[in-house]
Chains A and B, each alone.
Chain A
Amino acid sequence: MSDLAIKTVNLTKRYSGLWSKQPVDAVKNLNLEVHRGEIFGFLGPNGAGKTTTIKVLLGIIYPTDGEAYVLGKPAGDPKNHHKISYLPENPYFYDYMTGREILTFYARLFGIAEPQRSKRVNELLERVGLSRAADQPLRTYSKGMQQRIGLAQCLLNDPELLILDEPTAGLDPIAHIDIRDMILDLRNQGKTLFISSHQLSDVERVCDRVAILNRGVMVQLGRIEELLAGGHVELIADKVPDNAVEPIKQLGGKVSLHDGRLIVEQPDNGTVDRVIDIVRSAGGHIISVKPYRRTLEDLFVETIQGGKNA
């Protein structure tokens, strides 16, 4: 288990309200393994059980059934929290404090003594670009600045594992890019990142592996490149004689005609070359050849909608 940053075994969290007849499984038999040093995307629609899982991992709530381990120890062990950091979704900090004061507060929670504490706080303020605003109260901070201070408090203890819940939600494009770059920087430092996010393009860009949760059940798990395999190439040709269409159809793929133009979707480049040869030899004109890569958004929608239809 030592190479695993997070491991859950049949993790189940059931909520049974006082008056509700039917208990609800927020997370059901979740088996998850996150390796040290990887960036893991934890995806799912609202109410899928992502935040519930994170809360179990942090010991904020307790599992109904199953087990959860973080850095090799049972989840929620505060002694283990020296090596972990957490950024909640839309974090709220004591807004009467300044940026420097809030980081000092969290540094005290980590037991970092002076003079290291001040040194570390100053370093992080510099790193997240808040040195100039360090002595302003947090209530004057923009959303992007709040998120930066949130990330800074995550880095105080130089953690092995960072759990980030929607780290880029609601940010303007510049702040968004800044936070994303900081995450990439953390990856380069060899940190393990467990990111729950709806920003699928970000997840696709930074994560090594993803899991998709739907209604408390894990419905997809794998490396991004494996999950996103299966794109296609779209070829559009004009003035293709009718006698050339049949051999193209025989190559497989999807063939259709729109406004006299032939549209061919082929799963791989090799077949596309043959389609081009047929079109040209028949006197047709190639208008465009465009590769379409499957995106995480496509996979997400297919998975979730497939689950709904099932």
Chain B
Amino acid sequence: MNATFAIAGATFGEAVRKRILMVILLVALLIILISPAFEPFAAGRGARTLIISFGFGVIQLAGTFIAIIMCTGMIPTEIERRTIYTILSKPVQRYQFVLGKFFGAVGTLAFMYLMMGIVFLIASRLALGSFDPQIVKGLIMFFFQSSLLAAVVLFFSTFVSPLVNYFLSGGVFLMGNLLSSFLETIQRNPDVTPITRIPVQLLTVILPNFANFNVQNPIINPEQVLTDEVAYLVQTIAYAIVYMALLIVASMLIFNQREM
């Protein structure tokens, strides 16, 4: 495991020095910091709802961009720069390399979420006068959402170029956010034929469900009423962990056969 953590550490070190990721983080921090200034636009929804929804929106967007930008080049860049040759010529198994890369990505996301979370908590405390525990729950859920996305991107990066990966991962993220709602809609509609319904059902099962993680956002999911919130959170996190594990195992298997 020493090699895995060494690779994870190097991945983290490199990611937090990437200018583009730092720019995204800084812009997100700045917007979160000034989010209370949008209070006058609440228009009846309540300042709390607006500030929290706005903050979550910014954090989710930043987390998504960071996960995609960070992970698309993670393996192709190592091959292009030939750093991977000096690593794989050491007593390092290929699965350790993939695992190290993933842990490094998750570590970077954790760091970014920590930064954004601290600023969000401070900004909301100043604007609302109290800490809202919903923020912590939301941050955890969005962190897992981004980590799952990172696993998707890393999986694609084992066999496609970064440019293709941007579109593939972006597409999977978009579909993973919309498919469950879309499926519910077409299931309610008796006119929809099985030819339309079955592929949507299949895709909903295969693709990761990113919408599950948005439950904290009262603007995005106003109709969502949770009877047992803790069970839902645990279930969703468990779903993310299992899905990530499957993706990482698949990445390892593909990368094991990959020629560089």
Instruction: Identify the A interface with B (CB < 8 A).
Output: 55, 58-62, 78-79, 81-82, 84-88, 90-94, 96-97, 105-106, 108-111, 150, 153, 157, 163
Q: A60-B260, A93-B83 are in contact. Are A105 and B89 (CB under 8 A)?
A: no
Which A residues are in CB contact (< 8 Å) with B2? 108-109, 111
Docked-complex contact A62 and B85, CB < 8 angstroms: no
Q: In this assembly, does B14 line the interface, its C-beta being within 8 Å of a C-beta of chain A?
A: yes
- Let me know if B45 is at the binding interface, CB within 8 A: no
A60→B13 contact, CB < 8 A: no
Q: Mark B5-38, 1 if CB is under 8 A from A, else 0.
A: 1110110011001000000000000000000000
Chain B 74-91 interface 0/1 with A at a Cβ cutoff of 8 Å (1 = within)? 000000011111111111
Contacts of B84 in A (CB 8 A): 60
Residue from the list A61, A109, A163 in contact with B87, Cβ < 8 A: A109
B-chain residues with CB within 8 Å of residue A61 when the two chains form the complex: 259-260
A280 to B79, CA, bound (A): 68
Residue in B84, B91, B93, B259 with the greatest tally of chain A CB atoms within 10 Å: B91
Q: Decide if B3 is an interface residue (CB 8 Å cutoff).
A: yes
| Minimal beta-carbon separation of A91 from chain B (angstroms) | 6
Chain A residues with Cβ below 8 Å from B9 are 105
Are A58 and B91 in contact (CB-based, < 8 A)?
A: no
Across-interface contacts of B89 in A (CB, < 8 A): 58, 60, 81, 84-86, 163
Q: Is the CB of A81 within 8 A of B13?
A: no
Q: Is B164 an interface residue (CB 8 A)?
A: no
- 9 other A-B residue contacts (CB within 8 Å) besides A59-B88, A96-B14, A97-B13: A55-B260, A58-B89, A81-B91, A85-B89, A87-B86, A88-B82, A93-B83, A109-B90, A153-B86
Smallest Cβ-Cβ distance to A81: which chain B residue? B91
Which of these, A93, A96, A111, A150, contacts B91 with CB under 8 Å?
Answer: A111
Q: Which residues of A contact B242 (CB under 8 A)?
A: none
A93 adjacent to B86 (CB under 8 Å): yes
Q: Which of B3, B14, B85 contacts A94 (CB 8 A)?
A: B14
Q: How far is B10's CA from A62's CA once the two chains are assembled, in angstroms?
A: 27
Is A106 within 8 A of B259, CB to CB? no
**Are B85 and A82 within 8 A (Cβ)?**
no
Which residues of chain B are near A55, meaning CB under 8 Å? 85, 260
Q: How far is the CB of A261 from chain B (nearest CB, A)?
A: 54
Closest Cβ–Cβ distance, residue B96 to chain A (whole Å): 9
Nearest chain B residue, comparing its CB with the CB of A104? B6
Q: Are A81 and B90 in contact, with the CB atoms below 8 A? A: yes
Bound CA–CA A106/B7 (angstroms): 9
B87 to chain A, nearest CB (A): 7
Structural contact, A92 and B82, CB atoms closer than 8 A: yes
Contact in complex: A109, B85 (CB < 8 Å) = no
Q: A92-B81, A96-B14, A105-B10 are in contact. Are A78 and B92 (CB under 8 A)?
A: yes
Number of contacting residues on B, CB 8 A? 25
B87 contacts across to A, CB distance below 8 A: 109
Q: Are A78 and B86 in contact (CB under 8 A)?
A: no
Could you tell me if B90 and A88 are in contact, using CB atoms closer than 8 angstroms? Answer: no
Listed by A's residue number, 14 A-B pairs whose Cβ atoms lie within 8 Å are: A55-B85, A55-B260, A59-B88, A79-B91, A82-B91, A92-B83, A94-B10, A94-B13, A94-B14, A108-B3, A109-B3, A109-B90, A109-B92, A110-B90
CB of B121, distance to nearest CB on chain A (Å) = 30
CB distance from A150 to the nearest CB of B (A): 8
Name A78's contact: one of B6, B13, B93 (CB within 8 Å): B93
CB distance from B51 to the nearest CB of A (A): 36
- Can you name the residue of chain A whose Cβ is closest to the Cβ of B85? A88
10 closest A-B pairs by CB = A108-B6, A86-B89, A109-B90, A61-B259, A92-B81, A81-B91, A58-B89, A88-B85, A96-B17, A109-B3
Is there an interface contact between B83 and A94, defined as CB atoms closer than 8 Å?
yes
Q: Which residues of A contact B93 (CB under 8 A)?
A: 78
Chain B min CB distance to A107 (Å) = 9
- Counting chain B CB atoms within 10 Å of each CB, the highest count among A82, A105, A157 belongs to A105
B52 to A: closest C-beta gap in Å: 36
| Contact code string B53-90 (vs A, CB < 8 Å = 1, else 0) | 00000000000000000000000000001111111111
**Which of chain A's residues have a CB closer than 8 A to the CB of B92?**
78, 81, 109
Q: Are A105 and B6 in contact (CB under 8 A)?
A: yes
Which of chain B's residues have a CB closer than 8 A to the CB of A87?
Answer: 86
A164 CB to closest chain B CB (Å) equals 12
Which of B9, B14, B259 has the most A CB atoms < 10 Å from its CB? B259
Q: Which residue of B lies closest to A51 (CB)?
A: B85
- For the complex, give the distance between the alpha carbons of A111 and B91 in Å: 8
- Minimum distance in angstroms from B17 CB to a CB of chain A: 5
Residues of A contacting B81 in the complex (Cβ-Cβ under 8 angstroms): 92
What is the CA–CA distance of A156 and B82 in the complex, to the nearest angstrom? 19
